[in-house]
Amino acid sequence: MTAPDPDGLLAEQLLRLTRRVHRIQKRHLEHRDLGITPAQSRLLRTLAHYGSPPRMADLAERLEVVPRAVTTLVDGLEAAGKVRRVPDPANRRVIRIELTDDGRAALRELRGARRSAAEEILAPLTDEQRAVLGGLLDTLIDGPGADAGDGRRTA
């Protein structure tokens, strides 16, 4: 008989939670009828973090995907009117991606869907448990030795 593997159990729990979070977020997105996939949602959220329109290569690097994947996502979002390709003012051969007004409106809806999904997922936890979970997740995300008291929270 082998001894229980607590780290293996934790890893499995994290994977199951991740899948549950994705399912619930997808359901909340579908209920809002935005016509945006989870991958497109991620691209829009990433795009919103830039101060000026990024290049597709910048998006691919930030999303940790191949540039072709970004092209496919941008094609779909552009067809839906959420983003547009614009020439770089300094180098017209370079194309940048910017949010449209419809894209910004979609982002507001996406944030609402994510907030609703988070409320559903976290509902069984008390405020104290949520604070502990947040601290633990910060440690896991940032790694050991990171300053957990900097107040960062990304959603």
Task: Report the distance separating Cα 46 and Cα 60, nearest Å.
Answer: 10
pLDDT in tens, 52-72: 999 999 999 999 999 999 999
Range 102-111 average pLDDT:
93
Task: Report the distance separating Cα 57 and Cα 88, nearest Å.
Answer: 13
Q: What is the Rg, in whole angstroms, of the alpha carbon atoms belonging to the chain?
A: 19
Confidence of residue 2 (pLDDT cuts 50, 70, 90): low
Find out whether 76 and 40 touch, Cβ atoms under 8 Å.
Answer: yes
Report the mean per-residue pLDDT for the chain: 88
Task: Give yes or no for residue 80 having a pLDDT over 90.
Answer: yes
Sign of the CA dihedral running 73, 76, 82, 85 = positive
pLDDT in tens, 115-135: 988 999 999 999 999 999 999
Q: Are strands 83-87 and 95-99 parallel, antiparallel or unpaired?
A: antiparallel
Comparing CA positions, the residue from 26, 95, 30, 84 lying closest to residue 58 is 95
